Chains A and B, each alone.
Chain A
């Protein structure tokens, strides 16, 4: 079978799974502020928890484009469940890439099989976008470190069994893998947030929490940045694809509603201003999908420019999801403000996408900076070519 057909088949598989095992429970996840008990076992059974892992660790060696498709379809069904795949994947990726062999042996298969949920802890009460402002400290001791501080807004912090935690050790960023049952760590649920309400956020409090040196990921200082940035890059890509899923869900709901509901003697779909909103959504979804696929392709090819591409994909897809949700609620009218229809949930979930994994404003600053960098490089290259031409 040609690669395009393989991918289309995989998308169909992910869609079928998401519509059967996830979507029917999405509003329950939102209202009860937790995911249903069957979700993690079903994701594990389908091989969706860490599919990018090698087979020796229980994975399917899935490429990043296909992973993006999976996160899109799960995000289309339920943003909270997609957020589990995001943070679980970030934890897995950190251990795979930067953990020592003991950590890999201890955790990777367990994470792939859903025996334990992984989470990623950077944000604090006083630091989110400003990663350099984190206050959680790690004091070196014989054979380890003692952590003090708090991590807030930790997705699936309530049920995770292991966390990747970023602290600072003498001013140097340092990354650790910390088990839930480590003495000195307490987890407090955070509830009643605006969107992705089923993502079971936690507040982690570290009070003289000893962590052995063998739980280090990377090295203190320079060596912790790749740990954090590579995980955040995975998270950014996942959120981009999940945002695409939200936008697609908004479009699906709007087609259904506009086709069915009659106003002023005809179906809504016949009204031009409704058509305008549908067109905006269709165009945004198409563009977001192309950007996400391109980011996935560049990740698979280990293209160094992938970083910029993923920033652009996340920025566009998350803002497109917000625009789509705005249009979807508008098309639904008063029904769009009622929990009887899913679009109000999509709007709340879309807003969260504009804040997490690099807020819209952070994306704008970063993307412009990368753009000017490329512009200057091109100018230098042109100047160099002109000088060579002069002397030819």
Chain B
């Protein structure tokens, strides 16, 4: 998952300053990101990791921190996820 965390941090850093952002900081409540960024994030996840974000996935807890996004990507790319 650490590779996914690096990928997520790199993506975030293209949009805002991540120097003081820890892996578990909430990017929405702390004002780093807005709903428009959420759209860009979903588009990036789908494109770069070849997964589909479903309506059931649209929970804040899947997208609100570097750790959360990395865990979400890992879950979507796991074989068990592919079978469902």
Contact = CB atoms under 8 A, between A and B. Distances in A.
Interface of A: 97-100, 217-219, 221-223, 225-227, 229-230, 233, 301-307, 366, 373, 376-377, 380
A226 B42 contact: yes
B40 interface: yes
Given A98-B58, A219-B55, A307 B15 contact: no
Counting contact residues on chain B (CB < 8 A from A), the size range is: 20 to 34
Contacts of B39: 225-226, 229-230, 233, 307
The prevalent SS among residues of B at the interface is helix
For the complex of A and B, the 3 pairs showing the least CB-CB separation, nearest first, are A223-B58, A222-B60, A302-B47
Interface of B: 13-17, 28, 35-36, 38-44, 46-47, 53, 55-56, 58-60, 63
B9 to A, nearest CB: 13
Nearest to B52: A97
Contacts of A305: 40
Contacts of B40: 304-305, 307
Contacts, number: 66
B55 A99 contact: yes
Contacts of A302: 43, 46-47
Given A223-B55, A226-B42, A303 B15 contact: no
B38 A377 contact: no
Nearest to A376: B17
A218 B55 contact: yes
A229 B55 CA distance: 14
A229 B34 CA distance: 12
Nearest to B62: A222
A380 B17 contact: yes
A377 B14 contact: yes
A222 B63 CA distance: 10
Given A304-B43, A307-B39, A226 B58 contact: yes
A88 B1 CA distance: 41
Nearest to B61: A222
The prevalent SS among residues of A at the interface is helix
Contacts of A306: 43
Contact of B59 (A222, A227, A376, A377): A222
Contacts of A373: 15-16
A97 B16 CA distance: 28
Given A302-B43, A304-B44, A380 B13 contact: yes
Nearest to B16: A373
A376 B38 CA distance: 19
Contacts of A376: 16-17
Nearest to A221: B60
Contact of A225 (B15, B38, B44, B47): B38
A97 B39 CA distance: 13
Given A218-B58, A225-B39, A380-B13, 20 more contacts: A98-B55, A218-B55, A219-B55, A219-B56, A221-B60, A222-B38, A223-B59, A226-B38, A226-B39, A229-B36, A230-B39, A233-B39, A302-B46, A304-B44, A305-B40, A307-B36, A307-B39, A307-B43, A376-B17, A380-B17
Contacts of B38: 222, 225-226, 229
A377 B14 CA distance: 6
